[in-house]
Structure 1
Amino acid sequence: MSDKLSAAENHIIPDERSAVLTDPQAYADGRIYDTYTWLRANMPLGQAVVEGFDPFWVVTRQEDIKLISRDNETFHSGDGQFSFMDKGSDEYIRAMNGGDPHLVHSLVSMDPPEHFKYRRLTQGYFMPQSVKKLEDDIRAIAREFVDKMMATEGECDFVSEVALLYPLRVIMSIFGVPVEDEPIMLKLTQELFGAQDPEMSGAVEILSAEQQGEHLRKTVAGFEAYFRELSKKRRETPQDDLSSVIANAEVDGEPIQEKMEMGYYITVATAGHDTTSASTAMAMWKLAENPAEFEKVKADPALIPGLVEEAIRWATPIKSFMRFATTDVEVSGAPMRKGDWIMLCYGSGNRDEAVYDDPDTFRVDRSSSPLLSFGFGPHLCLGMHLAKLEMKILFEELLPRLRSVRLNGEPRNIPALFISGPKKVPVKFEAT
């Protein structure tokens, strides 16, 4: 490790900036964006050295993030932790997992040629033409949740009433999970992504690294127990749903391995609603905070796709993904060595001044610009088109029912290093 540090000694990020990058609360209270802005201006590709974490390169410009993301040969996803975590959590997971850093084997942790073999199993299911066939069903679900919001008589927490449950219902209906089991999926997802937030993890205090590792293991085991049973049913009696596609999939002419099958279920089930929930909640947060933007999109429904794009940019639910250099390589003057850990900061790339005009302002009529919220390159999110369609349909159904909306208290974000979004968005509204 010392050789790697000496090679990068002119690229070491100041301690106070590195500390923000490793603080879950900074992603909740917005301090992370000031650090991103400083890094883009002063050290767009630097190395953070923080006690308790392996050193990691921090990539903050969109151009560099894209360069690394598209090169799966030079920069691997699966050589270690693809989500950012401290050394203690990583060591605990490896120790209880036979040295394997991945509790969940999913597309995110796969590299070529394995990645494409598994991606193509469901890729067709999520293409725009396939997703469009779901529009009528999704619209019916959206109307149900808009009706529930209206029934609150003008005051609610948009997160708990709509943003959490609407995308959950959509992805579970696609999976074939019954409505009565949705609370199980919601609880497990919140525990998986909220380990650094006691309110989400169910803990009474912030968990230690070892406790977080054990918490994640138990949560993954809970998912596997549920999906193992569902998969058995779908192999015995296939249905017209995504669970049947996964349960009966073949790779290289052989039935899908169980660990890969479970990883597929868990990834689609969690990312398929948690990230969409975050972006949906952020859209309402910013509309309630910016009456002029609300009036703009309400007066012109053609701006709803722009609202969706801007909310996804603003939320950037997946804060970063990690990569590993497979060889010595220089990127924008940064001397990376084989095995170096690299953080792709999507939230920074989505606020890059070189790409966006006035990036720290929320605008529903922003001209179309590239987003990093769904990743980039071979690992581009499979569910991107579904997520955008869900949000578009919801606001097509919701905005005509609202005369006005404003914040009714302080919104709050979930503190987390990997995936997070709004935890509370209290609103007061007038119905039409």
Structure 2
Amino acid sequence: MATREKPTLDPAVARAVIDPASYAAWDPLLDIFDRLREEMPVAWAESQDDHVHPPFWLVTRYDDVMRMSKDNATFLNNPHTVVFSLTEGIEFAKKMTGGSEHLVASLVTFDGATHMKYRKLTQEWFMPKNLRTVEEEIRGIAHAAVDRLLEGGNEADFVKAVSAPYPLHVVMQIMGVPEEDEPRMLMLTQQLFGGQDDDLNQSGIKDLPPEAITQLVAGAVADFEAYFAKLTAERRANPTADVASTIANAVIDGEPLNDRDMMGYYIILAAAGHDTTSASTAGAMLALARDPEQWARVKSDRSLLPGIVEEAIRWTTPVQHFMRTAAEDTEVGGQAIAKGDWLMMNYVAANHDPAHFENPRKFDAARSPNRHLAFGAGAHQCLGLHLARLEMRILFETLLDRIESVELAGEPARSKSTFVGGLKALPLRFTAA
């Protein structure tokens, strides 16, 4: 029987869960999630300080997050925002959009039949059969990335040299964005997902107040929209075989996509297809740099590589949460949830649940099964999961071919972000093969 009492988070814990800096510290955050899974797996979080936000339920157990992910009728991506936001950010989005809490309308924000109609527009593009047609092109991009890594001698920041530019170049090539425009796309992506971290948002302003972060993100969205409006016009006049042409000329229910939905589609593919894979790639490299024996094993036995890729995705968990809204009175983990309640599915907590992952903080390339939640589950499972795995496999095949050994050359650093996160710096020392 579901309990009606609200188990409420301690103010300090509630603050830590939404604090971008907590996700940069990592191990202390995992300690918090370990305690909550045992003592308060579905917990009510309320505003405690000047960081005012709507109250929400924090869900930390794997089983509960998996069930919610698959039940898209009960747990909606609308009408409330699918990414945790402070109240002033939500109000800003509503002002910018004429009432919607979603600054960007995209696959991530649609429910039910609408979501499936939009998903099917590009779904075939990202299936393994079609991706095989671009595999050699991706391999060439991987070799160019390793060339850059080796050009600087035997030390480099792997994030700046490889894991940030490589997946960006891949997804931009697939979309049809010219290479000379990629630096602009990188900057805008980092402003969208790195707005809470001064090293990533490229604002030059430390300790940005929430309203400045919101305006930074809104500016990035506007810049994205201006860029892709021009690209749409070009692809409608002269369509090609790229994803941009598919979106520009797409029809839903007999009508072309409206501007807001079309721009949202571009933005979600451009942004989500880059930062997430970058984080997982850097996570895999960190694990291998810390374990020379594992590097040597996979160098001689490439059959181990898929396990390393999958474990890196779980271990890193680049998309750290999504929010859902209860469509009706329901329950999660024995806790009564009211219609309209806002819930945070915390993937970091779920992917470190010892009930499903033995010794979850250990990077275990042989982990099997490894049914993690880093790509989500159900109807909203990541559209680009096959591309992400392919990109990582090809890159590490190239790295293992061309690098003999690798080790840390300094302290890695994680980004400050509650939404998409991972390493922002990974100093390495290596020897070429």
Correspondences of 1:113-124 after superposition (within 5 Å): 113-124=113-124
Partner of 1:214: 215
The one-letter code sitting in structure 1 at the alignment partner of 2:19 is D
The one-letter code sitting in structure 1 at the alignment partner of 2:156 is C
Is contact 1:8-1:47 (8 Å) kept? Answer: no
1-side partners of 2:154 and 2:204: how far apart?
33
Gaps of 5+ in 2: none
Cα shift at 1:290:
2.1
2-side partners of 1:82 and 1:332: how far apart?
21
Correspondences of 1:355-374 after superposition (within 5 Å): 355-374=356-375
Is contact 2:68-2:75 (8 Å) kept? Answer: yes
2-side partners of 1:11 and 1:113: how far apart?
35
Partner of 1:305: 306
Partner of 2:8: 12
The one-letter code sitting in structure 1 at the alignment partner of 2:213 is Q
| Pair 374,155 (structure 1): closer, same or farther in 2 beyond 3 Å | same
Partner of 2:341: 340
Partner of 1:112: 112
Partner of 1:82: 82
1-side partners of 2:332 and 2:142: how far apart?
45
Partner of 2:92: 92
Match of 1:26 among 22, 29, 40: 22
Cα shift at 1:8:
5.2
Q: List per-residue Cα deviations over 1:193-236 (Å, max 9, x = no partner).
A: 11111222214122222222211111100000000000100000
The one-letter code sitting in structure 1 at the alignment partner of 2:393 is K
1-side partners of 2:144 and 2:35: how far apart?
44
Correspondences of 1:253-292 after superposition (within 5 Å): 253-292=254-293
Q: What SS does the corresponding residue of 1:180 show, helix, strand or coil?
A: helix
1:234 counterpart = 2:235: yes
1-side partners of 2:274 and 2:92: how far apart?
28
1-side partners of 2:368 and 2:416: how far apart?
30
Q: List per-residue Cα deviations over 1:348-393 (Å, max 9, x = no partner).
A: 1111111111111012222231021111110001100000000000
The one-letter code sitting in structure 2 at the alignment partner of 1:21 is V
Correspondences of 1:91-170 after superposition (within 5 Å): 91-170=91-170
Q: What SS does the corresponding residue of 1:113 show, helix, strand or coil?
A: helix
Q: What SS does the corresponding residue of 1:156 show, helix, strand or coil?
A: strand
2-side partners of 1:9 and 1:296: how far apart?
52
2-side partners of 1:58 and 1:291: how far apart?
38
Q: What SS does the corresponding residue of 1:89 show, helix, strand or coil?
A: helix
Q: What SS does the corresponding residue of 1:375 show, helix, strand or coil?
A: coil
Is contact 1:48-1:58 (8 Å) kept? Answer: yes
Give me the TM-score of the superposition, normalised by structure 1.
0.96
Q: List per-residue Cα deviations over 1:221-252 (Å, max 9, x = no partner).
A: 00000000001000000001000000000000
Is contact 1:85-1:417 (8 Å) kept? Answer: no
Partner of 2:327: 326
The one-letter code sitting in structure 1 at the alignment partner of 2:381 is L
Match of 1:44 among 36, 41, 44: 41
The one-letter code sitting in structure 1 at the alignment partner of 2:14 is S
Is contact 2:411-2:427 (8 Å) kept? Answer: yes
Partner of 2:70: 70
Is contact 1:297-1:364 (8 Å) kept? Answer: no
The one-letter code sitting in structure 2 at the alignment partner of 1:12 is T
1-side partners of 2:408 and 2:310: how far apart?
21
Is contact 1:28-1:412 (8 Å) kept? Answer: yes
Comparing 281-290 and 88-97, the one that deviates more = 88-97
Q: What SS does the corresponding residue of 1:11 show, helix, strand or coil?
A: coil
1-side partners of 2:98 and 2:323: how far apart?
21
Is contact 2:6-2:44 (8 Å) kept? Answer: no
Cα shift at 1:292:
2.6
1-side partners of 2:325 and 2:204: how far apart?
32
2-side partners of 1:76 and 1:29: how far apart?
31
2-side partners of 1:94 and 1:203: how far apart?
27
The one-letter code sitting in structure 2 at the alignment partner of 1:26 is S
Q: What SS does the corresponding residue of 1:423 show, helix, strand or coil?
A: strand
The one-letter code sitting in structure 2 at the alignment partner of 1:363 is D
Q: What SS does the corresponding residue of 2:430 show, helix, strand or coil?
A: strand
Partner of 1:3: none
Q: What SS does the corresponding residue of 2:343 show, helix, strand or coil?
A: strand
Is contact 2:96-2:103 (8 Å) kept? Answer: no
Cα shift at 1:88:
1.8
Comparing 77-86 and 224-233, the one that deviates more = 77-86
Cα shift at 1:406:
0.8
The one-letter code sitting in structure 1 at the alignment partner of 2:115 is H
Gaps of 5+ in 1: 1-6
Partner of 1:4: none
Cα shift at 1:401:
1.7
Partner of 1:420: 421
The one-letter code sitting in structure 1 at the alignment partner of 2:222 is A
Comparing 362-371 and 417-426, the one that deviates more = 362-371
